[in-house]
Structure 1
Amino acid sequence: MANLSHTLRYSPLRFFGLVFGLSWLPWMAAAYISHLPDEQPLAITLALAGLLGPAVAAGIMIRPGTGSRLWQDFRKRLFSLAGVTPGRLLVMFGLILIPLAIATWLSVRMGQSAAQFAVSSGFLPMLPLALIAALLEELGWRGYGVDSLRSVWRMLLPVTLVFSGLWALWHLPLFFIQGTYQHQLWQTGGIYVANFFISIFPASVMANWFYYRCQRSIPAAVLFHFTLVMAAELLQIAPLTKCIWSAILFLIAALLIAIEQDFFCKE
């Protein structure tokens, strides 16, 4: 695991405070406006503005162009592919897509429609938005946030636990914005809302594992995030299938921690 330089000074409380303020304020406004007649375009604009929170907060903390050590470190990692090997890419794709295929197969065996194996009609239209969302989030999460937590807790496992909780909480206002994926889950049922929050933990474990194995490469983090989101949009899977997928990912995350104990549990 790449060691963080002791010369880098982070402020996680200030960063996450900025993130929540910059995201939640427009999202809370969007949550109200989205339920008003003929105001959906403004609500969508505010919802998209909230996605800027992590990236803008990282920019404020790093202060681009100042010559600070944080900026130099960020700039070095921004386009770095040094740790992104074909083998790691295959593992990353496998950790996401194979569990999805198994979950869909199990769902069909349990009586769900076999039409779930068909490619979703929303897959291609979602590509640009998913890429933008992954980029904006990871510029903040792995550009500053996760490393800032590691400046407090050196071990990766507690960092991942804390980050997954913060990442889950960050999404909360989206459940009240009409038209969002999270709002659709809210209408579908509480078990699917719970599954969304539970699924963030294995996603955080695998994302941090891939990020640090790839020498803190920001493009690697963006690629993982983008792949995870698009995998969820790839097939016409039922909500139950997503619960099964989350359970399999949770098992894989637990096995990954057990196998990579030195990686997750040593400073």
Structure 2
Amino acid sequence: MVPMIHSIRYFPWRFFGLAFGLSWMPWAIAAYLSYLPNSQHLTVIIALMGLLGPACAAWVLVWASADERLRQDCRKRMFSLAGITLNRLLMMFGLIFLPLMMAIWLSISAGQSATQFSFSDGFFPMLPLALSAALMEELGWRSYGVDSLRSVWRMLLPVSLVFSGLWALWHLPLFFIHGTYQNQLWQTGGIYVANFFISMFPATVIANWFYYRCQRSIPAAVLFHFTLVMAAELLQIEPLTKCIWTAVLLLVAALLIAIEQDFFCKE
């Protein structure tokens, strides 16, 4: 699959510039509206529009491309389940949930509440939003964005480093929209904001590993993104525990890179 990427001409900086612009403009409007009275519903609608930025940017560049191979490649991968095997699914779930369980255990051992193993009341109401967000983001990030970076750097490790930084920066305006998860982190404390940005790297490493192992399946990328978000919502996890979870995921990502050196560090 990677030789196909190298034979197609991508425009990564056009894509990310367009994706940021199409997301940040509605988010700037949403940030302003979020502090006005009686504007909650309009704020939510406009904020959701911002999530479509990566997908719209990908659509524009694919549609404008003169390379029919790019269009065929995107169409083929849009609904492809060929690379999603039971073993890969179990590995993906394990790489997300086992570090989470370890983080909670370490947190409780350090004196945090044992109620963290209880199910969260917000889990089921969060499902539609989490699925929508995963779908809207990955239709852009994995249909064009990540592959476009790999057409430049080729090795997956630098691609993951660059994308994790861009992905983190893309979320920045959400910190200024009242009521968002990111805005709540901002109010909770700087350490939790830092943890949010740091967590992007291990999440990207594992996501890219799963995506490329599943033959660049876009549904696989959506499934990983959705699972990661819902894992964070499944239990009554305290903010400090999420920092521990990030630390464990960093260790897991480092081990994954070490075990899969050829996969991450060769063209």
Taking structure 2 as the reference length, what is the TM-score of the superposition? 0.97
Aligned-partner residue type, residue 156 of structure 1: L
Q: What is residue 140 of structure 1 aligned with on the other side?
A: 140
SS of residue matched to 1:4: helix
Q: Measure, in 2, the Cα distance between the counterparts of 1:208 and 1:44.
A: 29
1:154 corresponds to: 154
Q: CA deviation at 1:3?
A: 3.1
2: distance between equivalents of 1:123 and 1:71?
A: 37
- Are residues 1:104 and 2:135 paired? no
The equivalent residue for 2:82 is 82
Misfit runs of 4+, over 3 Å = 64-67
Paired position in structure 2 for 1:218: 218
CA distance in 2, matches of 1:69, 1:117: 48
Count of matched residue positions in the alignment of Structure 1 and Structure 2:
267
Tell whether the 8 Å contact from 1:2 to 1:215 is kept in structure 2 after alignment: no
Structure 2 matches for 1:1-267, cutoff 5 A? 2-63=2-63, 68-267=68-267
Amino acid at match of 2:134: A
Deviation at 1:136, TM superposition (A): 0.7
How far does residue 65 in structure 1 lie from its aligned partner after superposition? 11
Q: In proportion to residue count, which structure has more helix?
A: 2
2:86 and 2:231 map into 1 onto residues whose CA distance is: 19
Task: Return the letter of the residue paired with 1:62.
Answer: V
Whether the 8 Å CA contact 1:7–1:69 is kept in 2: the answer is: no
- Is 1:2–1:216's contact at 8 Å kept on the other side of the alignment? no
Query: Can you give the 5+ residue segments of structure 2 that lack an aligned partner in the other structure?
Result: none
Counterpart contact for 1:174–1:180, Cα < 8 Å: yes
How far, CA to CA, are the matches of 2:42 and 2:262 in structure 1? 48
Structure-2 separation of matches of 1:129 and 1:186: 21
Counterpart Cα distance in 2 of 1:120 and 1:22: 33
Aligned partners of 2:77, 2:168: CA distance in 1, in Å?
25
- C-alpha deviation, 1:67, in angstroms: 7.8
Deviation, structure 1 residue 6: 3.8
C-alpha distance in structure 1 between counterparts of 2:64 and 2:10, whole Å = 15
Please state how far the C-alpha of 1:36 moved relative to its aligned partner. 1.4
Offset from partner CA, 1:9-32 (integer Å, 9 cap, x none): 110011001100000000011111
C-alpha separation in 2, matches of 1:69 and 1:256: 32
Q: Aligned partners of 2:189 and 2:105: how far apart in 1?
A: 23
- Unpaired segments of 5 or more residues in structure 1? none
Shift of 1:8: 1.4
In structure 2, what residue type is equivalent to 1:49? M
What CA deviation, in whole Å up to 9, does each residue of 1:85-127 have, x standing for no partner? 1000000000000111111111111111111111100000111
Paired residue secondary structure (1:32): helix
| CA deviation after TM superposition for structure 1 residue 4, in Å | 2.7
CA distance in 1: counterparts of 2:177 and 2:7, whole angstroms: 42
Contact 2:5 2:147 in 1 (8 A): no
In 1: Cα distance, 2:135 partner to 2:62 partner: 17
Distance 1:136 1:226 in 2: 11
Displacement after TM superposition at 1:7 (Å): 3.4
Structure 1 vs Structure 2: percent identity of aligned residues? Answer: 75
